[in-house]
Amino acid sequence: MIAFLKLLISFAPWLSFLIIARDSLLRVEIGLGVALVLTVAMGLLRLHRGIILWVGLVFFGAASVAVMGFNDTWTLRHLGVLANGALALGAWLTIALGKPFTLDYAKEHVDPSRWNDLRFIRTNVLMTGVGASTFTINAVLAFGKMRQIALSELSYELLSYAMLIGTAIFTVWYPEHLRRQRAAAS
């Protein structure tokens, strides 16, 4: 349960944006402001780091300027696609660079002697890949919701939330599953 709470905290800016920024321009502006402040605060407190910190700073900073500073309706209309797309791009980029974003967080729970272990790195590539896939699918879902393609708005939201919850559960479960397997093999 603690691992799940830590995961939620690490994505607090994104979750706060998801929860707050809906139904009115004022709520979108508040959501962007809260997410940007949380991203900066979490970066300063080292609760947020690596590419996810930078993606959050760039996305929430640019979206805040576009929406609040320039009243850009295109950005406003595409925020769901842009937010999920930014997370997806950042996550895929960390895999391409050989430094999956989950490594920064996983190192807190693993002995430094294992940080360069191929299994440890492979596990983090897999976990980051699951996250990147979820963000990519959620960008597609946000596009479908925005264009009102096939499903109801509620269906798109429920699918998106199910993807996020499933990914969070997997992210907490999988490392523990591997630990149990290693312990059983010893």
Q: What is the pLDDT of residues 122-174, one digit of tens each?
A: 999 999 999 999 999 999 999 999 888 888 888 999 999 999 999 999 998 99
Collapsed DSSP state (helix, strand, coil) of residue 184: helix
CA count, 13 A, side-chain hemisphere, 47: 15
pLDDT in tens, 40-81: 999 898 877 788 889 999 999 999 999 999 999 999 999 999
Place of tokens 């080292």: 46
**Residues whose CB falls within 8 Å of the CB of residue 148, separated by 6 or more in sequence, listed in order:** none
**Would you say residue 39 has pLDDT above 70?**
yes
* Inter-residue contact 90 to 55 (CB < 8 Å): yes
Which pLDDT value is given to residue 3?
66
Whether the predicted pLDDT of 91 surpasses 80: yes
